[in-house]
Amino acid sequence: MIWKILRWVGGGLLVIIIALVCTVLLRWKRTFDVPLPDIQASTDSAVIATGRYLAFGPAHCAYCHTTAETGPALDRGEQPPLSGGFVFRIPPGTFRTPNLTPDRETGIGAVSDGQLARMLRNGVRRDGRASVPFMNYHQLSDADLTALISFLRSQPPVSHRVPPHDLNFLGKAVMSFMIKPTGPTSPPPAESPAPGISPERGAYLVTAVAECADCHTERSMVDGHFTGARLAGGNPFEAEGTQDMVVVPPNLTPDPKTGRITSWTEDQFVARFRQGKLIPGSPMPWNAFARMTDDDLRAIYRYLRTVTPVEHDPGPSLRPKG
């Protein structure tokens, strides 16, 4: 009798496993019908200059959409084309950043402005599939979204074919059941807050452009959703160039006990960003943020002073793994 029950249970589990595998294989490339935003690239030099500032500065596009070989050029202040190829290896699989130059065969030359805008604002790829939430530019203003796409169009085309993402079964399961387009939580503004030293400008830069919370908040490494208090410190990252150390994003809230920058003056905050990368292996794009204007850095500082303090100590910024 017991063996019959075990065989019945085992057979039932096998059926469930087969059904799950089949469902994942059928669903992981599912598509979503999301309208294209009404965004059109401009050839205006001032608009392109704003997009360039965003790409190499606060939006730090250049620090993912280039390769390790171009890293030294970025660190020297140069502006290499955003021809993609950077590799992220995380539990769901291996992900590679695409070529963002206007090459028609290997880049965005055959992608419409609306499709690019939908990818950035809604997380929907050209083929209608949802993207993995590496980029959360959902609240970028229409003006800045236009500027960014205008700059991408203005680059010289580079022929660089980047292999597609390589998802394992976990990754395909996540795409099947957990990843879907998120999009803006409220209607994005037509214009970004005016340049200047204001908490409003800082809030926009932190939440819509620089994506500070993406690293400085604990989140699931499977589907990317936030699991910790916003800006109160993030997950450890393996330090670049070593498998023995991790870099831990600190708490940026103004908590007097655990907030990393609570005791810093505004001038100290700006000076730290001008120094660039100091912690070996840090994944933070320090050299992108070092290109930001003084006013934008001061605006960020003033905004961070207004967020809710959270007592949370994520530990030393650089520490042994384990």
- Please report the DSSP string for 261-297 in residue order: TTT--HHHHHHHHHH---STT--S-HHHHTTS-HHHH
Worst-scoring range by mean pLDDT, 41-45, 53-57, 141-145, 276-280?
Answer: 276-280
Provide the CB-side half-sphere exposure for 91 (13 A, CA). 10
- The pLDDT tens digits for 110-143 are 999 999 999 999 999 999 999 987 888 999 999 9
Whole-prediction pTM: 0.90
Average pLDDT, the chain: 90
What letter does residue 207 receive in the DSSP assignment? I
User: Of 87, 183, 62, 84, which Cα lies nearest the Cα of 130?
Assistant: 183
Q: Tens digits of per-residue pLDDT, 75-115?
A: 888 899 999 998 888 888 999 999 999 999 999 999 999 99
pLDDT number for residue 160? 95
CA pair distance 154, 149, nearest whole angstrom:
9
- Which residue in the block uniquely carries the two structure tokens 């020297």? 76
Supply 226's token pair. 């936030």
Q: What is the pLDDT of residues 219-256, one digit of tens each?
A: 887 667 889 999 999 999 888 777 788 999 999 999 99
Order of strands, edge to edge, in the sheet holding 93-96? 87-90, 93-96, 166-167
Q: What is the pLDDT of residue 12?
A: 62
DSSP symbols for 143-190 = HHHHHHHHHHHHSPP---PPPPPEE-HHHHHHHHHT------SSPPPS
Confidence of residue 276 (pLDDT cuts 50, 70, 90): confident
Confidence at 2, pLDDT banded by 50, 70, 90: low
Q: What is the mean pLDDT of residues 310-316?
A: 94
Q: What pLDDT does 6 receive?
A: 47
Q: Which residues of 248-286 are buried (b: 16+ CB within 10 A; e: fewer)?
A: bbbbbbbbeebbbbbeeeeeebbebbeeeeeeeebebbb
Position 243 scores a pLDDT of 77
